[in-house]
Structure 1
Amino acid sequence: AVLAHNALLREQQGLHTTVEQRQKDFQHQSKELESCIHLLVQTGASIYSRDVKSNKTVLHYTVQDGNISLLRYFLELNAFKSKDFLNNKAHGNTALHMAAALHRDKNQKEIIQLLLDHGADPSIRNLDNDQPIHMAPSGKAGDQIRHLLKKGRVASAFVSCRRNARS
């Protein structure tokens, strides 16, 4: 259901000169697929499941296609439950790595900020020993992404220090 919703959004984004009726059709289909995802979760489907071949979770699939509405939904479902959900790796990359690599995606900054706000760890390294900050594009857009990730790393270190001080 997540993959179908992502495909629909990609198709919609590819049609910049679409007619109004086509837009309405896409919006209707998108809402139906989102409802299907909500229903699946409500009836017991786990957002923590992984794809057997790729080891990706719904979070990875959602982020890789810049699907902001489903990302918000999955993050709300996971609220304060599992940092592992946010920091799981698929082929070595966390969802934050994938978000940092979303070059030219209009939702990239918002996705990164949402992940950081919910506890994604910007210091985790992938199989190539890269942190998410290393995945950011070059240029001005990349500078903004790197700034977000640096702020996130400082905040993450601060929270970690506070936790250790209480222990």
Structure 2
Amino acid sequence: MSGEEGASKNELLMAAAKSDNLEMLDEVLSDDSSSFDINHMDGAGNSALHYAAKSASTGCLEVLLYYDGIDINIVNRMEGDTPLHKAAAFEDTETALHMVQLLIMHGASPSIRNRLKQTAADKAPGDTHQEIKAFLEQAEIGNRFAAHDVRDIVADNSDSDDGGPSDEE
């Protein structure tokens, strides 16, 4: 605990993420980075990024995603969920899609499974979140494709001699 009114910087970080309080978040993040842990987990095992996604604190989510050292694929202790799992399960589809897109754009993995073996797409309610499920499934396919070395694919497709320049030229 810090001497400031009882709340530690880590607690303030969590509170800001839960309530989308950008002023409080900025106050914590502008302080010396040794005074808080950007990936701090509370007793339930959630980080500020989990709470921002779970609470649809999109302003805080956006700020946190740009913070150096943030673990975008951090897994909580209770369910084994990542922030992407929390975002995909958010009830408002438009907000959920926005958060999911932000997280994917910043490197969140759609293939991580929680303790119930669910991906983020599995956590999205099937009756209302079809667009989110489709987006996450596309992102997972894209990640699988990106995992293959593109140079290998190009080499496989250039077996015929088409008269183009070779590596030796």
Question: What SS does structure 1 have at the residue aligned with 2:64?
Answer: helix
**Is contact 1:121–1:153 with CA below 8 Å preserved after alignment?**
yes
Q: 1:121 aligns with which of 90, 93, 109?
A: 109
1:2 touches 1:61 (CA, 8 Å); kept in 2? no
* Structure whose alpha-carbon radius of gyration is higher: 2
Would you say 1:159 and 2:146 are equivalent positions? yes
Aligned counterpart in structure 1 of residue 124 of structure 2, from 120, 129, 136: 136
Count of matched residue positions in the alignment of Structure 1 and Structure 2: 136
Cα RMSD for the two superposed structures: 2.3
Check conservation: 2:18, 2:52, Cα contact below 8 A: no
| 1:4-38: CA deviation from partner (whole Å, max 9, x where unpaired) | 445656xxxxxxxxxxxxxxxxxxxxxxx422221
Instruction: Name whichever structure is richer in helix by fraction.
Output: 1
TM-score using structure 1 length: 0.72
Residues 42/163 of structure 1: CA separation in 2 closer, same or farther (3 Å cut): farther
Cross-structure match for 2:74: 88
Correspondent of 2:98 among 103, 110, 116: 110
| AA aligned opposite 1:112 | V
State the identity as a percent. 24
Change (3 A) 1:3 1:48: closer
Question: For the structure 1 residues 164 and 50, does the alpha-carbon distance in structure 2 shift closer, same or farther, using more than 3 Å as the test?
Answer: farther
Change (3 A) 1:107 1:2: farther
**Cα deviation, residue 2, structure 1:** 4.5
| TM-score, normalisation: structure 2 | 0.71
Q: Which runs of 5+ in 2 are unaligned?
A: 1-11, 153-169
Structure 1: gaps of 5 or more residues: 10-32
The partner residue of 2:49 within 56, 59, 62 is 59
